[in-house]
Chains A and B, each alone.
Chain A
Amino acid sequence: MSDAHHDHHPKGITRWLYSTNHKDIGTMYIVISMIAAILGGTMSWYIRLELMEPGIQFIDDFQFYNVLVTAHGFLMVFFVVMPAMIGGFGNWFVPMMIGAPDMAFPRMNNISFWLLAVALVLLLLSALVGAGPGTGWTVYPPLSSATFHDGPSVDFGILALHVAGASSILGAINLITTILNMRAPGMTIHRMPLFVWAILITAILLLLALPVLAGALTMLLTDRNFGTHFFDPGAGGDPVLWQHLFWFFGHPEVYIIIIPAFGIISQIVSTFSNKPVFGYLGMAYAMSAIGVVGFVVWAHHMYTIGFNVNTRAYFTLATMVIAVPTGVKIFSWLATMWGGSIKFEVPMMYAIAFIFLFVVGGVTGVTLANASADLVLHDTYYVVAHFHYVMGLAAILAMMGGYYYWIGKMCGRQYPKKLANLQFWVFVVGINILFFPQHFSGLAGMPRRIPDYPDAYAGWNFISSVGALITIVGTVLFFIVVWRTFASSEKVEANQWGEGATTLEWTVDSPAPFHTFEETPDMTGRQPAE
């Protein structure tokens, strides 16, 4: 038995392709996320270069522009944020934080990863064969129907999402079972670290939301290829049905992206304030409430389809209710910092920036929750600014914060602090210059998903594109930081953050050995590991 010896591990292809080790699989998830981030990021910068000035700069094939927008969305959601947060940090740190030696189903853990790699190949195929999918990530019929996208591109895209969905469902089953069944004795549900809570809730959302998308995708596939008529009003079908099914999945999906970020931010804020998180149980149940309410607000994405007044009133109210548990989280983070001895290490800087971005995006979210206001703002850059703030970049900041927080534990080396500080400032300034002006161009009526626009929008678009250029520098700096970290000779100790870092991963060596917690720790009587 190989697990008899601490650092004896399989070599070469057996170690990675056939892996049953949560740390190795987590590492592979983080690597695929970085690859997808380069692809998806490059696409968005190309989009911003096109939009730098009115008129057509580079992209005279508008279908190609739509393909860029679509692929950027798919890549960032399914292949960057989810793999890094859930597959990467979730795999690495959920077992360690609960004192378990691995995931519940180590072999299934591996197929979750490799199915994601297959899904990425299928997504790239969809962009490379034929005209590409110019449908947006929402894939609304009739634009996605055979009438308007008759080639194989959309079919490849559908199957890419199917496979990515299967990967995520298996991953969700694995994480939930691990958390429910493998906690160290004494670590009750109410004593789990908040990152574990976050991953548990995220996994439940994945488990319940993704199969609905799978059903909808199946209907779209059979409509396109086998003569069903789910979304074809000519034969009694209903294109709005797609929107319902898509957003019944899609709204929980945006919480799937942000709730793991909540978990990471809670760990970081607590560690560097040298205090337990303020209102631990409130934080845990705020996330739970966000998860539950996330399933009953989906139609706020579809206000323009002509709902009756009662429906719009309900979805406006339900959507605004989300601001309550979200406010609980924001104020609890602030209260955690209040009176704490704060250390402004790079992860903490990222956590503070996260809170700022998330509040900005949350406030515009309350605006957009109003059905009547949304009729004006729907499909404008105001929405683009909103979701990039609240979910896209907030999640990216939490991922980068998580990287700086945990990279010492993962590779045993110290990131270059000065360079990391520079990277933080360049990146955070860049993304704000990039996205803040989009509120203004959006309020002025600049529509989404177009490669050209009237001259009136030129000013804010130019500033936005300058922000994109700064963000490129910040991103390149991040990869230089990654390289400098791995090239560094400066080792870190088991607990590099000091007494603020109380969770179990800081009790094992850095880098964490191949197998950890082969002796189960006794957590009886210990406080919430916060």
Chain B
Amino acid sequence: MASDTAHSHPYHMVEPSKWPAVGSLAALTLAVGAVMFMHDAGPWVLSAGFLLLLVTFFGWWRDVVKESRAAYHTDVVRHGLRVGMVLFIASEVMFFFAFFWAFFDRTVPFLSRTALEAWPPEGVIPLETWHLPFLNTLILLTSGATVTVAHHAVQKGDNAKTALWLLFTVILGALFTCLQAYEYGHAAFSFTDGIYSSTFYLATGFHGAHVIIGTCFLIVCMFRAKAGHFTAEKHVGFEAAAWYWHFVDVVWLFLFTCVYWWGGSGYQG
């Protein structure tokens, strides 16, 4: 496929694609729908935008997989894809940076003269650090180990073993999400209660959203492994998913130590 071109360079000259335009339309629909939803005009436009976004993801990345199968992804292109993924994760780190800043702004007097003296604030009963949150830590750390086993398998080109250990990872990820949902359902503080709830739910909520996204990414890789897509040399999709999963894991460790453990330690009971 790549051989019938006149050029000598190793780069991938991508054909024109409708997906950027469709994706932008999805973004417009999502944004207009979000404003309508927030001003009591119903969730329908928002849902349509979300659906169109999912269609875009599916169609766009299906094209990328096809191009990969068609050997457009040379060594140099694969290096570029890895660099791109690392940069994307760096931007995600800075997104969480904002929510940690909000948390520390309220808890560390050095950062803010109006930091609260009591944390959790009076009347807030935090979650028991060493119950569900600790169990979730163990689950996520274990999933980091299982995805590493899968990584070793893919480096040997063993797609069957890769798929199996990705399955374990996906199950652990799903278990984490379920336990997190259970925890939300049984927390003694609700979303709108005050600053403790705000920092807790947005930081852990965005982490949870990233766990779900990462799980989907791993599921895609699992099916690709089953279809025999990966080789010992070529498995950028897998690497990106594994890196993303480790990133989600590390964010959780910070959430666990700062928000759950340290942030709950001031509770006078």
Contact = CB atoms under 8 A, between A and B. Distances in A.
Interface of A: 1-5, 10, 14-15, 17-20, 100-102, 104-108, 110-111, 113-115, 117-118, 121-122, 125, 151-152, 155-156, 159-160, 162-163, 166, 169, 172-174, 176-178, 180-182, 207-212, 214-216, 218-219, 221-230, 232-233, 235-238, 240-241, 244-245, 248, 306, 308, 515, 517-520
A18 B17 contact: yes
A155 B35 contact: yes
Contact of B91 (A114, A210, A228, A517): A210
Interface of B: 4-9, 11, 13-21, 23-25, 27-28, 31-32, 34-35, 38-39, 60, 76, 79-80, 83-84, 87-88, 90-99, 101-102, 105-106, 112-114, 116, 121, 191-199, 201-202
Contact of A4 (B4, B98, B197): B4
A173 B240 CA distance: 15
Contacts of A227: 191-192
Main secondary structure of the interface of B (DSSP, over half): helix
A219 B102 contact: yes
B19 A107 contact: yes
B114 A240 contact: yes
Contacts of B31: 118, 122, 156, 159-160, 162-163
Given A181-B80, A219-B198, 9 more contacts: A114-B24, A209-B94, A228-B192, A228-B197, A228-B198, A230-B198, A238-B114, A241-B106, A245-B98
Main secondary structure of the interface of A (DSSP, over half): helix
A241 B112 contact: yes
Contacts of A125: 32
Contacts of A216: 98
B38 A236 contact: no
Contact of A177 (B18, B80, B195): B80
15 contacts: A20-B17, A101-B9, A107-B20, A118-B27, A118-B28, A155-B35, A172-B91, A181-B76, A208-B94, A212-B101, A214-B98, A218-B202, A219-B202, A245-B98, A519-B8
Contacts of A308: 113
A101 B5 CA distance: 13
Given A18-B21, A244-B105, A518-B8, A229 B83 contact: no
Given A20-B15, A105-B84, A241-B101, A152 B38 contact: yes
Given A156-B35, A177-B84, A236-B196, A245 B101 contact: yes
A20 B16 contact: yes
A319 to B, nearest CB: 19
Contacts of B21: 17-18, 110, 114
Contacts, number: 231
Contact of B195 (A111, A163, A229): A229
A225 B192 CA distance: 11
Contacts of B39: 151-152, 155
Contacts of B96: 215
A10 B17 CA distance: 11
Nearest to A213: B98
Residue of B24, B193, B199 contacting most chain A CB atoms (<10 Å) = B24
B265 to A, nearest CB: 18
Contacts of B23: 111, 114-115
B8 A520 contact: yes
Contact of A236 (B11, B84, B194): B194
B85 to A, nearest CB: 9
A3 B13 contact: yes
A293 to B, nearest CB: 18
For the complex of A and B, the 5 pairs showing the least CB-CB separation, nearest first, are A215-B98, A227-B192, A236-B195, A111-B20, A114-B24
Given A114-B24, A236-B121, A245-B101, A208 B91 contact: yes
A306 B113 contact: yes
Nearest to A116: B24
A240 B79 CA distance: 42
A233 to B, nearest CB: 7
A306 to B, nearest CB: 7
A117 B28 CA distance: 10
Nearest to B83: A177
A4 B7 CA distance: 7
Nearest to B113: A306
B121 to A, nearest CB: 6
Nearest to A110: B20
A222 B99 CA distance: 13
A18 B16 contact: yes
A66 B87 CA distance: 37
B114 A19 contact: no
A515 B13 contact: yes
Contact of B97 (A20, A115, A215): A215
A51 B87 CA distance: 46
A207 B5 contact: no
Contacts of B102: 215, 219, 230, 241, 245
A214 B95 contact: yes
A232 B102 CA distance: 12
Contact of A102 (B4, B13, B20, B195): B13
